[in-house]
Amino acid sequence: MIVDLVKEFSFEAAHRLTQVALDHKCARLHGHSFKCEVAVRGEVDPATGWFIDYAEITEAFEPIRLQLDHYYLNEIEGLANATSENLARWVWEKLEGLKGLHRVTIRETCAARCDYFGE
Ligand SMILES: [Zn+2]
């Protein structure tokens, strides 16, 4: 039995996009209530009835959340061009030790998200 376990986290942060036209709205400094979903995929252990403890995902993400929450993302090493895509990869790279890491999703708004699968 293979399952995806998903946890959603949130953080507030500012950014601007550096590779868009100057009159593009995202070129201006602005903020989002970002959502980040972390999904792990793996086989359920028949003895325990679970794949991993959800708390392992939370423990892995918490140091990342502390680096992002209420910061200007463009000033963080590796996020000079703080698109959702680059942020998803940045989070993935920080989570690479997490068992079964399958997907990192970044939501800037309710209607727009980036899913990254590590490729
Ligand atoms: Zn934005």
Look up the CATH number of the domain holding residue 92: 3.30.479.10
pLDDT of the residue at 117: 98
User: What spacing in Å lies between the alpha carbon of 5 and ligand 1's midpoint?
Assistant: 27
> What's the total number of domains in the chain?
1
pLDDT along the chain (119 residues), means of 10: 98 96 94 98 96 97 98 97 97 96 96 96
Q: Is residue 108 among the annotated active site residues?
A: yes
User: What spacing in Å lies between the alpha carbon of 31 and ligand 1's midpoint?
Assistant: 6
Q: DSSP labels for 45-103?
A: PTTTS-SS-HHHHHHHHHHHHHHHTTEEGGGSTT-SS--HHHHHHHHHHHTTTSTTEEE
pLDDT tens digit sequence for 42-67? 999 999 999 999 999 999 999 999 99
CA distance 70 to 66: 9
Which is catalytic among the residues 8, 30, 59, 70?
70
pLDDT of the residue at 92: 98
Q: Is residue 26 among the annotated active site residues?
A: yes
Domain range enclosing 16: 2-116
Which is catalytic among the residues 15, 32, 36, 108?
108
